[in-house]
Chains A and B, each alone.
Chain A
Amino acid sequence: MVSNHRNPGTPLRPEMFEGHPANRSAAERRTSSLAARRTVKKEWQAAWLINAIRCMDLTTLAGDDTAARVARLCAKARQPLAPHVVEGLGIEALRLTTGAVCVYPTMVTHAVKALAGAGVPVASVATGFPAGLMPLRLRLEEIRYAVDQGADEIDIVITREHVLTGGWTALYDEVRAMREACGTAHLKAILATGDLQTLRNAYCASMVAMQAGADFIKTSTGKEGANATLPVSLIMVRALRDYLDETGYRVGFKPAGGMRTAKDALNWQFLMKEELGRDWLEPRLFRLGASSMLADIERQLEHFVTGRYAASSRHAIA
């Protein structure tokens, strides 16, 4: 029943999400106890942190991005850990890279160049990121531009208004059109859950995006008042599960924004494993959208290798 193919989407089916309850207090209890229920130590912790790197969309989305800045980020994506750490871990054979880099559309070309031969996909935000309040025609044009520039993945933003007003058809049609514009590039739908506010909204938006053919659903742009949180992630991954149960298709999950520590990397992975299972710890179905998290992971891994606490100044910055 479970398909390994790309999610083709379904017709809009409001009965799959309308009125679906999401209890905030219970979600908070679940996520706070989850972080205390699971712990990894020593080699296990190292492995889980390495996996986080494998699943990381190393990101720069700033107004002052330049070709050189993007090149520096890509260099880190190619070699996320210092050679002595890789050696100490004994994982040379893994040829570890991050899951992708994520940049603005005009930076795609620089990223593609910098990552030539590295096997690291380039993701581009598009559709009037971060607010998305541009005419649809222009947003679709932006997707096509980014794909044309060589982007393998497109992180689109949805029109929050459609969620806040219950305009499910409009939301569905918009994401459908974006998916078409992506072509073979994978579509990650950013729901901007900080703007949607309620968990019920997050569930509905998740479901509509999946029905419209999203390959990933993503929490945040990193620019909203509230970024990725564990409770909102919990509700979104439960939507993934419900969608899988109903359609047989797996859709990926990408929390983004505000996650800075190695502990965050572990907690989100625990969430994926406990709520969904081992499959969702692969880059195909799980990405962490982060920029500064890698530095903390690298410090933790160096500590594992050397037994001494590490300093970031001794590691290459992204």
Chain B
Amino acid sequence: MNAILSILDTLDYGPAPEDCNVARTWLKKHEAGFGHFIDGRFTAPGETFEVMNPATGETIAKVTQGTAADVDAAVTAARAAQPGWAALSGHERARFLYALARHVQQHSRFLAVLETIDNGKPIRESRDIDVPLVVRHFYHHAGWAEILADEFPGARPHGVCGQVVPWNFPLLMLAWKVAPALAAGNTVVLKPAEYTPLTALAFAEITREIGLPGGVLNIVTGDGRTGADVVGHEGIDKVAFTGSTEVGRIIRRRTAGSGKALTLELGGKSPFIVFADADLDAAVEGVVDSIWLNQGQVCCAGSRILVAEAVAHRFEELLRRRLAKLITGDPLQKSTDVGAIVHPVQLERIRGLVARGAAEGAVLHQGASPQGCFFPPTLVTNVHPASVLCAEEIFGPVVTLTPFRTPEDAVTLANNTRYGLAASVWSENLSLATDVAAKVKAGVVWVNCANIFDAGAGFGGFRESGFGREGGREGMAAYLAMPGPVAKKPEGSPPAPDPTPSSSMAGAALDRTAKLYVGGKQVRPDGGYSYPIEGPGGPVGLAGLGNRKDIRNAVEAAHKATGWGAQTGHNRAQVLYYLAENLAARTAEFEDRLKSFGQTAAAARVELATAIRRIFWYAAQADKYDGAVHQTKSAHVTLAMNEPIGVVGIACPTAFPLLGFVSLVLPAIAMGNRVVAIPSQTHPLSATDLYQVIDTSDVPGGVVNIVTGERETLVKTLAEHDDVDAVWYFGTRAGARTVEEASAGNLKQTWTEDGTARDWGSAQGQGKLFLAKACQVKNIWIPYGE
């Protein structure tokens, strides 16, 4: 029978292969193996490993395993190139970035095909999604380079950036890292993933084509050991990593105390919430775009569907029908929806997790998939929050479906995860969708859409999904440093508190007892010990010696004060103004306290006046430091909302007993955070005096909690606490390292500085930097059109 006639019977799609000759020819040219790209030149191949096409299993290239010496050479080249690159005008750097955008566009199909051969993703995606986003990212950041001096006055580049990118979007993640780094005037040492290094090497050739100065971008290939060498290298000033939470934790520990800036974009288990009034068909397509994009190997994939019980049956039915239509197979075929899993190791991982889930009783609904490194698109029902498939990031085309009852139930289920990268919310009722978007703990929320990206909007997570943003103004800021104050003489450890009775004590006529302040109540320290506070002529009073349990209680109290962050900025401002008013009314008492620590009358007067002014300043900012509406795609509102981080632990510097405390606690609570503060260890009584003022100023209980005692042990407990969202530490170098190391447990954000670096009495003690540290940006995407 004539072929056409038989096709007319079935109306199958038939083969439509993408021509891959150009990429093959390029690979052939490099048959001998790739070296690294250092200082504008490719090195001779060293000890190589094989790179394979996961769809076929064939070896397509040999790539060099980077050694410590290779990394060292790359860092040296980047270091040498950095001053010259940073000395160029923004306009000159913009021209290079513009040229990169142009040339990536001109080589777009070559890069798309190469990406597909290397990674296994369908050509439709590499062609229509990955490469266009790469181009967009370079254009956008060419713009940032051009206007950098105007938009970020006073900012300077970090220096040399060490960047480690994953295998799921190899070229796109390179673009996300390289574009802002170069725009800012940094130079780069980048390590691509060992499964997928080829587009990075092709990109290196493109940088040569446009004449990017040697050393500005260096690429060292290799496995995790090479990556560890990059992030651990002492010549690196800023580390940026995208990958697993597990490796992110290792990097956090490894860089602790090094002074390196760090951004981490890690895993996720993002909720996909479907309300009863959603366009269910639209939501079904959203699932396709979410978990069946890139074989589900997407950090922000909506891998947990939560669906209103009222429509759960119909939704599941529609989703199963849609699942049956997906074509899984050869990624070079233009009609393929789901391609190959990146590597057999990952395939085994996915299989293992799914088998565990099935053993627990999960029901699998799967499409068809060919033999080889493929996994069928899978819908999993009969699962609960405790199921392994609901808790673990699978990083495969596997999505769970769980019904919920009410919006509150949906939010609770959505937030029942250690991650907080993204969320997708489906409802035609925008009041409901916006409410849920505000309540979900995620860095990106897509309303009635999923996996929409644009260079103009920030991307990045809350919680164990990491910190820092890529894209948008906040992403650009992550590659810039504001010249920070430098300590002339590093802060030394304060003397250990001695909880035994002192030989004498100067004091008021009537004894005053300084307690801890937890949950709006004055409480005695759990341990029942106090320690003397020294004045110039001996002890001037006792302070409670707080311990682990006091920190635990304070964190619990802070968590209960949930209403504070939801209040309007105006309401918080009123409370803070009132706080300033009440403090001003007790000027003499507070000045006396400062004098009792040995300050001169003049110094005490200035510290108090500055503290009052500073409280006013943050009250003023409470309703003004707000977000932005980004220019992204047409017919989309993209809101960048500044949200409080949550519960922030603050360890205050030793000096400036009142002002140090006020300067750190006020920006945090002005932005809606709740605080557990450890005041100056040597002179905490100004802070404990303040709790009476806090009490009378309508600050809700639990918003500010004060635990006095030994700073280093208390802050370690805070930094280790899994329910604390950020820790600010102003103290010793060793203490900073401890905090950063301990923060790796839940990957909380940290801000550490030498306690003596900042002159708290000057302008250094306040500003937008403090507000920025007190917020995290949530980007909410709302497409519109009827």
- Is A93 in contact with chain B by the CB < 8 A criterion? yes
Question: How many Å from the CB of A258 to the closest CB on chain B?
Answer: 20
Closest to A273 in B: B11
Name the contact of B785 in the complex, choosing from A24, A40, A200 (C-beta under 8 A): A24
Q: How far is the CA of A89 from the CA of B5 in the complex (A)?
A: 9
Contacts of B449 in A (CB 8 A): 25-26, 29
Name the contact of A25 in the complex, choosing from B2, B277, B335, B783 (C-beta under 8 A): B783
- Is B8 in contact with chain A by the CB < 8 A criterion? yes
Select the stretch in A44-52, A121-129, A185-193, A212-220 that faces chain B: A44-52
B residues 115-140 near A (Cβ < 8 Å) are 124, 128
Contacts of A51 in B (CB 8 A): 8, 11
Known: A25-B785, A281-B11. A91 touches B5 (CB 8 A): yes
Q: Say whether A40 contacts B16, CB under 8 Å.
A: yes
Name the contact of B289 in the complex, choosing from A24, A29, A91 (C-beta under 8 A): A29
- Is B334 in contact with chain A by the CB < 8 A criterion? yes
Contacts of B428 in A (CB 8 A): 21, 23
Q: Say whether B8 contacts A26, CB under 8 Å.
A: no
Q: Say whether B334 contacts A91, CB under 8 Å.
A: no
Closest to B336 in A: A37
- Is A195 in contact with chain B by the CB < 8 A criterion? no
Q: Say whether B337 contacts A37, CB under 8 Å.
A: yes
Known A44-B13, A94-B8; further 5 A-B contacts with Cβ < 8 A? A25-B636, A37-B337, A43-B7, A48-B7, A274-B325
Q: Say whether B124 contacts A36, CB under 8 Å.
A: yes
B residues 708-758 near A (Cβ < 8 Å) are none
Q: How far is the CA of A40 from the CA of B2 in the complex (A)?
A: 17
A-B CB pair tally, cutoff 8 Å: 101
Contacts of A25 in B (CB 8 A): 448-449, 635-636, 783-785
B residues 1-45 near A (Cβ < 8 Å) are 2-5, 7-8, 10-16
Q: How far is the CA of A117 from the CA of B288 in the complex (A)?
A: 48
- Is A95 in contact with chain B by the CB < 8 A criterion? no
Contacts of A47 in B (CB 8 A): 4-5, 7-8, 11
Name the contact of A40 in the complex, choosing from B3, B14, B282, B786 (C-beta under 8 A): B14
Closest to A22 in B: B279
Q: How far is the CA of A107 from the CA of B659 in the complex (A)?
A: 92
Question: How many Å from the CB of B736 to the closest CB on chain A?
Answer: 47
Q: How far is the CA of A42 from the CA of B15 in the complex (A)?
A: 9
Known: A21-B277, A21-B428. A26 touches B285 (CB 8 A): yes
Q: How far is the CA of A42 from the CA of B13 in the complex (A)?
A: 10
Known: A30-B282, A37-B124, A42-B14. A50 touches B786 (CB 8 A): no
Main secondary structure of the interface of A (DSSP, over half): helix
Question: How many Å from the CB of B10 to the closest CB on chain A?
Answer: 7
Q: Say whether B4 contacts A46, CB under 8 Å.
A: yes
- Is A307 in contact with chain B by the CB < 8 A criterion? no
- Is A41 in contact with chain B by the CB < 8 A criterion? yes
Closest to B428 in A: A21
Name the contact of B448 in the complex, choosing from A19, A23, A198 (C-beta under 8 A): A23
Name the contact of B786 in the complex, choosing from A37, A38, A199, A269 (C-beta under 8 A): A199
Closest to B429 in A: A21
Q: Say whether B4 contacts A43, CB under 8 Å.
A: yes
Q: Say whether B337 contacts A23, CB under 8 Å.
A: no
Q: Which 7 A-B pairs have the closest CB atoms?
A: A44-B14, A26-B282, A25-B783, A47-B7, A24-B785, A23-B279, A39-B334
B residues 191-249 near A (Cβ < 8 Å) are none
Q: How far is the CA of A238 from the CA of B284 in the complex (A)?
A: 13
Q: Say whether B15 contacts A90, CB under 8 Å.
A: no
Q: How far is the CA of A71 from the CA of B448 in the complex (A)?
A: 51
25 contacts across the A-B interface (CB closer than 8 A): A19-B277, A22-B279, A23-B448, A24-B786, A25-B449, A26-B279, A26-B286, A37-B335, A38-B335, A42-B14, A43-B7, A44-B14, A47-B7, A47-B11, A48-B7, A48-B11, A50-B4, A51-B11, A89-B4, A90-B4, A93-B5, A94-B8, A199-B786, A269-B11, A281-B11
